[in-house]
Structure 1
Amino acid sequence: MLGFGAERLRADMNRLLALLFHQGVLDEQYLELQQLQDESSPNFVSEVINIYFHESEKLLRNLRGLLLDREFSDYKKMGIHLNQFMGSSSSIGAKRVRNLCIAFRAASEQSNRAGCLRALELLEYEYCYLKNKLHELFQIEQQRNLAATVRYPQAQHHLNNP
């Protein structure tokens, strides 16, 4: 049985996950990802998410670079980056990020530079929110795993009899 601290941390994790689902930040794909984690790969979810973060930051830099180039006109290249971002966001259950990619792609298909800049700002904001919340979730999970392994020694009763 888990210790009190581990149970409290599990409840904190569940509350945070429930909030993220309620806000539409995550969808059921995230739960499917969690089901792939077991004792043989206890860090599976955090490893997949960290790869997602690494790739997403490259894609965001590329998108920003394209849009800030005064000579920019390659909306097709932007669409390729957005499709990659959409696909990876879908695969981890990042629902709001995926939906913003869809809106961003619509603006890029219309060659709407101002719309793309607005969409990029929203996407960057939403991505940062997702990243912060998932880091928070992983920190709680790490604390819970530590708390679950801590064993407290039995209290020893010493009589102060001489």
Structure 2
Amino acid sequence: MLGLGVDRLRADMNRLLALLFHQGVLDEQFLQLQQLQDETSPNFVSEVVNIYFHESEKLLRNLRGLLMDKEFSDYKKMGIHLNQFMGSSSSIGAKRVRNVCVAFRANSEENNRPGCVRALELLEHEYCYLKNKLHEYFQIEQQRALAAGVRYPMQN
């Protein structure tokens, strides 16, 4: 009976990942990240992704702060933040977030403030969707690990 729960949770994880790949939210880099996880570092992927979330929150605050400044004109600084965001998003396989950063950077390079504001809104939306779905994924993974680790003695 216990194995069925583990199998169901593994299937739930696979379905969620398949959905995220189908939607273009994630790309193969996420799978490569998963391949680095093993028994010696069973939480490697969630730890890397949590660092990404922490750093991304700071970058989003910085971008919003720059754009909300009435005297804003430092598009070069915005580009630096976007390059950091693109790089870290690429490293975990956050494809849609990375793509929005590319479009955002194009608006920034053109000093297009209204385009940057729209891009920031889209970036925040895509980031929140990614964060919610990966949190869901890691919760299922944690449940699966707990279920797989529980062993009951055989009853005679």
Displacement, 1:3? 1.2
What is the CA deviation profile of residues 67-120 of structure 1, one whole-angstrom value per residue up to 9, with x for unaligned ones? Answer: 000000000000000000000000000000000000000000000000000000
Unmatched tracts of structure 1, length 5 or more = 157-162
Report the residue type matching 1:145 in the other structure.
A
Displacement, 1:61? 0.1
Higher CA-based Rg: 1
* Map of 2:116 onto structure 1: 116
Distance 2:143 2:88 in 1: 28
Distance 2:94 2:147 in 1: 29
Displacement, 1:155? 3.7
Distance 2:80 2:43 in 1: 30
Distance 1:13 1:147 in 2: 14
Displacement, 1:9? 0.1
* Map of 2:106 onto structure 1: 106
Unmatched tracts of structure 2, length 5 or more = none
* Map of 2:90 onto structure 1: 90
Alignment of 1:39-58 (within 5 A): 39-58=39-58
TM-score of the superposed pair, with normalisation by structure 2:
0.97
TM-score of the superposed pair, with normalisation by structure 1:
0.94
Displacement, 1:15? 0.2
Displacement, 1:152? 3.0
Displacement, 1:149? 1.1
Aligned alpha-carbon RMSD (Å): 0.9
Structure with the larger helix share: 2
* Map of 1:26 onto structure 2: 26
Report the residue type matching 1:138 in the other structure.
F
* Map of 2:61 onto structure 1: 61
- Equivalent residue of 2:120, what SS? helix
What is the CA deviation profile of residues 11-50 of structure 1, one whole-angstrom value per residue up to 9, with x for unaligned ones? Answer: 0000000000000000000000000000111100000000
